[in-house]
Amino acid sequence: MGTIEYHTFEYTWARAVANLRSAYTVSLTPWRVTGVGIAGTTLLARGTCESNCVVEQAPPVRQPLAMNVETTAGLNMLATTTGRGASGDVWARMNLQFDTPGGAPVTTRDVRSLGLRCDNALPGNNTSPGCVFSGSRPILVLHYNDPSAGWNALNVGWSIYTGLPAELTRLLNPADSKGNGDRACPSGGAYPRPVGYECDEYPFRSTQEGAKTSGTPFAPRTFSFCQLNDTWPNTPVVSTDVGPLGWSRCNIPGPDNQAGGQILSKFYIDQRVLSGEKFLVVPTD
């Protein structure tokens, strides 16, 4: 009978905030045929939603194929992870069947969408359900030239440059987060801050790599711009890689510290970072 060679493009859409709907589309363009040709050949696409979802809109029943013409089939999905605290994997599957006049139907292998993680599990009363790509790792980008949080980015950048981890793991236990902050940035007369300055720590207190939950020995570090004034005990100033253990502490302007915390909180929500999930931190210009 002959063959049909074609290019395929697959697209998966999802929204991270206030939406449990997603979509999967397969576009197919024949570019070479052998044998009897392509005249009269049709494509039947059957789409299903696998695991924690239902199909809202099925693909077209049957479509004609033509050389160098794109034919598209798709489906819309709605995740069923609506209950508070619910979370689950979602993906679509598409079966492509080619029918040629006078020949038996030929079915290619199934194609499958990228995997999603849909949930309603973010902490807090003002959060909403949404979906993210489960195969990707969120990246928190911090900018040195950010007028509102540049000092926070600088502390993070030097922390990573001197060996502290750029890959962190979210921590949701409030008591553990407080313990991390108290160990990294203790209060009291032995730990003075200049007027208008606050202590900024890295790794973030809201991560398992924080000063206490990491379980590392007492190993703080600081940098020349941090205004600890050589008065904070056992906190050496470093400028080279001294390894991944420990944490940094740095006095930075209070507004920068607070803005850095807001950037991190927004990142957790926008990227739907749940407890125990890893993310990357990238300081840059």
Q: What is the pLDDT of residues 137-169, one digit of tens each?
A: 999 999 999 999 999 999 999 999 999 999 999
**Same domain assignment for residues 258 and 148:** yes
Q: What are the structure tokens assigned to 178, written together?
A: 């407080």
DSSP β-bridge partners for residue 39: none
116 and 151 together in one domain = no
Q: DSSP class of residue 207?
A: B
Looking at the DSSP bridge assignments, the partners of residue 78 are: 21, 54
**Cβ pair 167, 280 in contact under 8 A:** yes
Give the pLDDT of residue 104.
Answer: 65
The dihedrals phi and psi of 259, each to the nearest 5 degrees, come to -65, -40
Residue with tokens 């696409």: 45
In which domain, by residue range, is 236 found?
Answer: 139-284
In this structure, are 39 and 64 located in the same domain? yes
Could you say which of 133, 152, 175 is where a domain stops? 133
Instruction: Work out how many domains the chain is built from and give that number.
Output: 2
CA distance 204 to 212: 11
pLDDT for position 60: 66
CATH of the domain at 49: 2.60.40
What pLDDT is attached to residue 93?
A: 92
Residues of the chain with pLDDT under 50: none
Same-domain status, 83 and 163? no
Q: Is there a single domain that holds both residue 59 and residue 74?
A: yes
Alpha-carbon distance 113 to 130, whole Å?
Answer: 17
Q: Measuring CA to CA, which residue among 27, 99, 106, 81 is closest to residue 59? A: 27
Beta strands 21-35 and 71-79: pairing type?
A: antiparallel
123 plus 194 within the same structural domain: no
Q: Quickly count: other Cβ atoms within 10 Å of residue 212's Cβ.
A: 17
One domain for residues 118 and 34: yes
Neighbours of 267 (CB within 10 A): 17
Total-model pTM = 0.89
How crowded is residue 275: how many other Cβ atoms within 10 Å of its Cβ? 12
